[in-house]
A and B are shown apart, each in its own frame.
Chain A
């Protein structure tokens, strides 16, 4: 049986790992390659690298970092940030990335999802969605939550799936950085609505939050950053706890 996945996310700026509380105050948490290697040793199932400033500054992605990670790390990893066209993705694939994550570029040009899936296979294409509640609705936001769109979150995710997304990385901007738990209600609603894997993101503060997200939303994977980077949650202990709670994980 396929396992629920634990995914540390390394937000990277200028070659260093950072994690912003609600994407604003950045703290330096170390060398991404070394962190990645440590996480793979601890039992992380997968890694995500997001260049959180890439979209805002139109910065091209981190080919050298991807190569350095691929040389040293023996688990899959996804790279996101600044991927706007097929050529960007092609460079990252050849540098050793297993998947690429697109966010704003997909909203601006939804056809990019089709193009990437056709060229590289849908398993290569993660569509990241930042969502924020706006009254009764959940709307897709861009540029690290700075810019609201008119897209309704569930409808956009369905469209992304139909266009060829292989996986959805859904971050609740209302929960991100709060350490108050994942947005399990929204995650369950989305998860019931799609037939591709869903990665839950935003709000992890303690181990119970991981139990809750898997039990309540049935998401395929849970992603977090600061709780792992600052050693507040240790992956081997987290996985043992999940297993004790009858959640299927790789130990």
Chain B
């Protein structure tokens, strides 16, 4: 069963609807007392990374999350929270994956936010991308991106510059796109996550 870290940042309804369509059971985690009894976790999130980090800190869950030894999937801002720092509000984040979240503005000429379907390049094959072809399209909407890193980037996408579409460090995974909004390919990622070895 998946525990969803529910710290009040964004649209959980779409995520839970996707899990229900896939018949993947889930529960809600609001505080450290709720953390037990799950075999994997999702950290959702949209909006301002600094504000999201502030909310996550208020739940008291950050030290608990850092010590998890079961698969964790951060989605969009939930993924960015896994990194060390975001240029959004110059915010210190959890630092679980020692890379940074940067602003597109000033670095590219294309429009910001990066909105729409973009194809990914799989940099490292892991079970999270089982059955997903290189070049598959996913739905992105974000103004800040996680820098490409040869050690932690699982999949990249290009928007004038290459950035991390998916990252991994140990049990911690993150996807910048929204699997719950990325059609069948996105649902496939959620299914794969629910089947990752624990």
A interface vs B, CB < 8 Å? 1-3, 5, 40, 45-46, 67, 70-72, 74-76, 93-98, 120-124, 166-167, 194-197, 220-221, 250
Q: With both chains docked as a complex, state the minimum distance between the C-beta of A2 and any C-beta of chain B, in angstroms.
A: 5
Asked if B38 is an interface residue, CB under 8 A from chain A, the answer is: no
Contact A76 B143 (CB under 8 A): no
Main secondary structure of the interface of A (DSSP, over half): loop
Q: With both chains docked as a complex, state the minimum distance between the C-beta of A67 and any C-beta of chain B, in angstroms.
A: 7
Q: Which of B48, B112, B117, B118 meets A121, CB within 8 Å?
A: B48
Q: With both chains docked as a complex, state the minimum distance between the C-beta of A185 and any C-beta of chain B, in angstroms.
A: 20
**Across the interface, which residues of A come within 8 angstroms of B119, CB to CB?**
1
- How many chain B residues touch the partner (CB < 8 A)? 37
The 6 closest A-B pairs by CB, nearest first: A96-B13, A121-B47, A250-B137, A250-B117, A123-B141, A3-B117
**Across the interface, which residues of A come within 8 angstroms of B184, CB to CB?**
74
- With A67-B13, A74-B184, A123-B141 already in contact, the answer to whether A220 and B116 are too (CB < 8 A) is yes
- Of B15-23, B28-36, B56-64, B123-131, the stretch lying at the interface with chain A is B15-23
**Across the interface, which residues of B come within 8 angstroms of A96, CB to CB?**
11, 13-14, 17
New contact pairs (10) apart from A1-B158, A197-B111, CB-CB < 8 Å: A2-B110, A2-B114, A2-B116, A45-B116, A70-B13, A74-B184, A98-B181, A123-B143, A166-B115, A196-B113
**Across the interface, which residues of B come within 8 angstroms of A46, CB to CB?**
116
- Chain B minimum-CB-distance residue to A94: B13
